[in-house]
């Protein structure tokens, strides 16, 4: 009977030591493999897949909101990009007295308005109201433009009773060029058309608004009466 070479003999249960060591190494290698890799391989037909962190592949970076107010409660930043506190705008201008005596204490009222109780004069009480509320129109010195409106070169004079009865030469309201100036001034002071006068820059103590209730009532009555002179107003 012909004896087959050892390499061709059928397997009888004996395992070569080298083969046994290789098998043990393969078992250890598979035992140490990541379960995630094994699951991925099973779900892809045996082909392992690579799992990466979505944060590194989406191109997006999540950062905690910054706090500039020192608040550590986790709230949103209390400052805007321009450095101003949120919810707060620029500080509004504080109203200023438009009384000539406050604007220019050195001014002489008798030199800037012809008021009195005689013929062709602005009534004394009306002159006082004008000086108390319309100082910008009667100021002869240059004032800071940030504080007051410059009316040194005002196109509409208001120094005499005749000025109020001459044709209006101011800018607003439009359409009063051929009417007595007092009618145009009435539109600005009484009806605030197209803009109020005194301006929003002006204010009075202890009252809201740009002119006191009493002074506004006095001017309203004078305009409604046709802006009479001192003698007529005194004897009304």
Facing residues of 96 across strands? Answer: 202
The pLDDT value recorded for residue 96 is 86
What stretch of H or E contains 131? Answer: helix 124-133
The pLDDT value recorded for residue 223 is 98
Flag whether pLDDT at 82 surpasses 80. no
Region 27-36: what's the mean pLDDT? 48
The pLDDT value recorded for residue 216 is 97
Q: What is d(CA 54, CA 68) in angstroms, rounded to the nearest whole number?
A: 30
Per the model's pLDDT, the better-predicted residue between 73 and 206 turns out to be 206
Flag whether pLDDT at 70 surpasses 60. no
Flag whether pLDDT at 224 surpasses 50. yes
pTM: 0.60
**79 φ/ψ angles, rounded to the nearest 5 degrees:** -125, 145
Residue-wise pLDDT for 6-25, tens only, equals: 444 444 444 454 554 555 45
The pLDDT value recorded for residue 151 is 62
Residue-wise pLDDT for 146-181, tens only, equals: 667 666 556 789 999 999 999 999 888 999 999 999
Residue-wise pLDDT for 113-155, tens only, equals: 999 999 999 999 999 999 999 998 888 777 666 667 666 556 7
Per the model's pLDDT, the better-predicted residue between 57 and 214 turns out to be 214
CA atoms within 13 A on the CB side of 20: 5
Cα of first residue to Cα of last residue in the chain, in angstroms, is: 160
The pLDDT value recorded for residue 15 is 47
The pLDDT value recorded for residue 212 is 95
The pLDDT value recorded for residue 92 is 52
CA distances from 40 to 26, 47, 52, 204 (A): 20, 8, 13, 81
pLDDT band at residue 91 under the 50/70/90 scheme: low
The pLDDT value recorded for residue 46 is 44
């Amino acid at each position: 009977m012909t004896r087959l070479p050892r390499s061709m003999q059928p397997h009888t249960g004996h395992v070569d030591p080298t083969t046994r060591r290789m098998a043990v190494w393969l078992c250890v290698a598979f035992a140490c493999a990541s379960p995630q890799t094994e699951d991925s391989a099973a779900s892809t037909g045996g082909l392992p897949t690579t799992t990466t962190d979505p944060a590194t592949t989406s191109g997006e970076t999540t950062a905690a909101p910054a706090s500039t107010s020192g608040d550590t409660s986790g709230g949103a930043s209390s400052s805007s990009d321009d450095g101003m506190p949120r919810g707060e705008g620029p500080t509004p201008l504080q109203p200023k007295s438009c009384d000539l005596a406050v604007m220019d204490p050195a001014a002489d009222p008798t030199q800037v308005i012809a008021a009195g109780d005689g013929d062709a004069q602005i009534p004394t009480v009306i002159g006082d109201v004008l000086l108390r509320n319309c100082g910008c129109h009667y100021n002869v010195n240059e004032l800071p433009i940030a504080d007051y409106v410059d009316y040194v070169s005002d196109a509409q004079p208001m120094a005499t009773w005749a000025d109020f009865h001459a044709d209006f030469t101011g800018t607003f309201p439009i359409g009063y060029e051929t009417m007595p100036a007092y009618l145009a001034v009435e539109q600005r002071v009484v009806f605030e058309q197209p803009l109020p006068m005194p301006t929003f820059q002006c204010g009075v103590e202890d009252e809201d608004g740009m002119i006191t209730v009493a002074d506004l009532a006095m001017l309203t009555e004078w305009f409604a009466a046709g802006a009479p002179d001192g003698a007529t107003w005194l004897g009304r």
